[in-house]
Structure 1
Amino acid sequence: MRQRHSFHVDQGGHSVTVNVRSGWITETELLVDGKECAFHRVHGHGSYPMTLSSQLADEPPRPLAVTLDRTGKAEHPLSCVLALAGAELPMPERTAR
């Protein structure tokens, strides 16, 4: 059975979203302002922690990274943290729609 997780934060006028679809194959995508900027695909449930990197389309561009890790909790098995401009910001998980 596939599990889906979605994390989202608005930061400095930009939207950062991480979507995870896990099962036999785990796919993780990083969207910045609605555009896919990084993608990772692996057979199985994935290896954590996992970091995906991109940048914000500012002038000059600002690098960012998101790190996913296991929490050990059944109801929220993954956590996601955004690293931007030397700060780390936890990204809240969106509820399923």
Structure 2
Amino acid sequence: MSRRHHFHIDHLGHSVSATVQTGHRSVVEILVDGKETGHAAIKGDQPVPVPVELPTDPPTTVTVLASTGPDEPRCLLLATADGEPQVMPPRPY
């Protein structure tokens, strides 16, 4: 059975959202300010890095690290500027 999990964080004044779809084929889709900027297939429980650019001046590259488990999907925002991973909280829909 397929299920969608949503995550969101604001970073440097921009909205970063992730949707992780679990099931037979697991995928992650990343939106920045409402526009799709990255996606990737997720194989197994291993985290998948998805690099995206924030439309700052100059553009800032960040990475969303998405995984489907082992228990529940989760996403982290890895910002190169500060180096500290930030948990992207679940967003109920």
Which category of TM-score, normalised to the shorter sequence, fits these structures? 0.7 to 0.9
Task: Tell me if structure 1 keeps the 8 A contact 2:28–2:66.
Answer: no
TM-score (norm. length: structure 2) = 0.84
CA distance in 2, matches of 1:28, 1:81: 12
Cα deviations by residue, 1:13-32 (Å, 9 ceiling, x for unpaired):
10001101121222210111
CA distance in 2, matches of 1:88, 1:10: 13
Structure with higher Rg: it is 1
Cα deviations by residue, 1:24-77 (Å, 9 ceiling, x for unpaired):
2222101111111111236xxx3321110011111111110011235543xxx1
1:83 to 58, 78, 81: 78
Sequence identity (%)? 34
Structure 1: runs of 5 or more not aligned: none
CA distance in 2, matches of 1:68, 1:25: 14
CA distance in 1, matches of 2:29, 2:68: 17
> Pairwise CA RMSD of aligned residues?
1.6
Change (3 A) 1:39 1:70: closer
Structure 2: runs of 5 or more not aligned: none
TM-score (norm. length: structure 1) = 0.81
Corresponding residue of 1:4:
4
- Runs of 4+ aligned residues of structure 1 deviating over 6 Å after TM superposition are none
